[in-house]
Chain A
Amino acid sequence: MKKFISLFRALIKNWFRSKSGVFFSFLFPVMLLLIFSTVFGGQESVEYTLHVQNNDLVERYEFSLDQNYTRYLENGTVHEEMREAFEEKDHTISPDASMSKTGDKSWEINDNDRWYGLEENETKIDVYTLGDQVTCLSENFTKGLRKTETLDIVTLDRDVNVTEYFEDDTSFGESRRALIISRGFQEKALDKSMELRMKVIQDTMDRIGDQYDMNESEEENFTERQEMVDRWANRTKTGESAEVLLLTSEGDQVAPIIEGTVYGVVNNFNQRMMGVEDSTVEVESESIGRKDLEGADYYLPGLIAAFIMTNGIIGVTGTISEYKRNGTLKRLISTPLTKANWIFANVAQQTVLAFLLTGVMVLLGVVVFGVQVYPNLYALGFIFVGAVAFCSVGIVLGGLIKDVEAANGAGNAIAFPMMFLSGAFWPLERMPSYMQSVAKVLPLYYFHRGLTEIMILQDPSGAVVPFLIISVFGVIFMILATKVTRWKDM
């Protein structure tokens, strides 16, 4: 026992003298906790920028043309007579302008960035241009986007070419996202909603006809009305839906969130257009963990687990390598120390470091981030088991690999990938499914999951399986450590 305590003290002193040891065991995790909790754990809700260009403007009456001009209404270039008539009304139309039919009695002229709408009446042709006001429905749609807590809406001028706008200015970074509301949004939305409403009425009448028995006069009356609805339905058929164009850049990780939010607003808008004010399904959301947890509370267990693992594997392998390189190990072998003293002193040192690390991290969390979670007895027990398990891995590597550099390299090669792949630093759901499968065979996954269950969710029963897995893992590696450590021959 005395020999064990002497070696344990020597290991602890040696660790404190090593600046890199202290840095990687304490300062590095502390830095990561500060960075992760500050960057990803902000209390403010996150808003993503979305540029919106609303091109759906209210049409403004300008003048009327004589009915005689109806003969010049044709697809293609604008007839000279028609251009002259416009000129008389102080509207110059270039020879390149084109005319196209948009409805039964409606036409449009597109002349570069100018637009004219022509509506045939019984006695004349009314000519419209676009005003400065956006349409009511497109404005409501933008308001709907603004109401979501996810999007920060920035209005883009109508004369802006969106693609060039983003390419010219590099200051947008990843927020190169734009939603373009096309001209005719309101008109198409209204027409389509009428068409859909008629379809609903048709469908409802069909069902009523199928389900209810009627007498002869009722059936006659019903069929007459059904035919009337069918006629109206045919008349309101439009085929075209109002469109919005969502542009996102490749590799924008936030794009799926933006798309989801826009789809949500579109669905809501569609329902309103169909006259649905109420919803059949309501979603209430509540947290199943403790409600008052900050970002640091979530990162704390993951970081504690990850650095107990790296301290155990890299730290112990490094100590053994260093002791081998500077001859300390040979001197220790020639003292009365036994293999058991050597193994248990290393394990004890790592356990003390693990508790110290936990204390420092929690203290920092409380002082800087107001952390609400404290490691209880279950957590301390689990931390002890974890420290023993990962330290045993380090002893196995140190005993198994004779070459000093190779042992160090092996420690790094095992610990670093495990640190990033296990989901200790970010939710597992963000990783591809095959990586999630990899994470679930790594012991660190069970270590940080168990700590999260105990410290965050305060559910020790949820940590039973992780505890058992880490315990079995620890026992196996402790046995291996005693087998591969050939004390007198190291």
Chain B
Amino acid sequence: MMVKLRPDKQNLEAGFTASITIFKNMGLYPGDSFKNREGVELIVKGKEGSNEWYIESVDD
């Protein structure tokens, strides 16, 4: 009945912003690109001087 709610890069969408730790827990670093569950290709971006990273669509 119970499922573990684990963070997974396949659930992410463009525009997602979170702390660096959350990205690292999913094994993601700035410059990494991957496809989410819907098949959209995404890329991790870092913000200068910020402790948050974000996701962008590669097409953008």
Contacts and interface: CB of A to CB of B under 8 A. Distances in A.
Contact of B2 (A2, A336, A337): A2
A332 B18 CA distance: 11
B2 to A, nearest CB: 6
Interface string B3-42: 1111111011101101101100110000000000000000
Given A5-B1, A334-B7, A489-B15, A327 B21 contact: yes
A5 B15 CA distance: 28
A488 B5 contact: no
In this complex, the interface size class of chain A, counting residues with CB under 8 Å from chain B, is 10 to 19
- Secondary structure of the B contact surface, majority rule: loop
Contact of A6 (B2, B7, B13, B21): B2
Contact of A331 (B1, B2, B7): B7
Contacts of B26: 334
Interface in A1-30: 2-3, 5-7, 9-10
A450 to B, nearest CB: 35
A60 to B, nearest CB: 96
Contacts of B8: 334-336
Contacts of B7: 331, 334-335
Interface in A221-236: none
Contacts of A331: 7, 18, 22, 25
Interface of chain A: mostly helix, strand, loop or mixed = helix
B20 to A, nearest CB: 11
B3 A2 contact: yes
Contacts of A3: 3, 5
Contacts of A336: 5, 8, 11
B4 A6 contact: yes
A333 interface: yes
Contacts of A489: 15-16
A29 B5 CA distance: 34
B22 A488 contact: no
Interface in A144-197: none
Interface in A313-339: 327, 330-337
A488 B2 contact: no
Contacts of B1: 2, 5
B15 A6 contact: no
B22 A335 contact: no
Contacts of A333: 11, 16, 18
Contact of A334 (B2, B3, B18): B18
A6 B5 CA distance: 7
A335 B9 CA distance: 8
A7 B5 contact: yes
Contacts of B2: 2, 5-6, 9
Interface of A: 2-3, 5-7, 9-10, 327, 330-337, 488-489
27 contacts: A2-B2, A5-B1, A6-B2, A6-B5, A7-B5, A9-B2, A327-B18, A327-B19, A327-B22, A330-B18, A331-B7, A331-B18, A331-B22, A333-B18, A334-B7, A334-B9, A334-B12, A334-B18, A334-B22, A335-B8, A335-B11, A336-B5, A336-B11, A337-B5, A488-B12, A488-B13, A488-B15
Given A334-B26, A335-B5, 15 more contacts: A2-B2, A3-B5, A6-B4, A6-B5, A7-B5, A10-B5, A331-B22, A334-B18, A335-B7, A335-B8, A335-B11, A336-B11, A337-B5, A488-B12, A488-B13
Interface of B: 1-9, 11-13, 15-16, 18-19, 21-22, 25-26
> Which 6 pairs from chain A and chain B are nearest by CB?
A334-B7, A330-B18, A335-B5, A2-B3, A488-B13, A6-B3
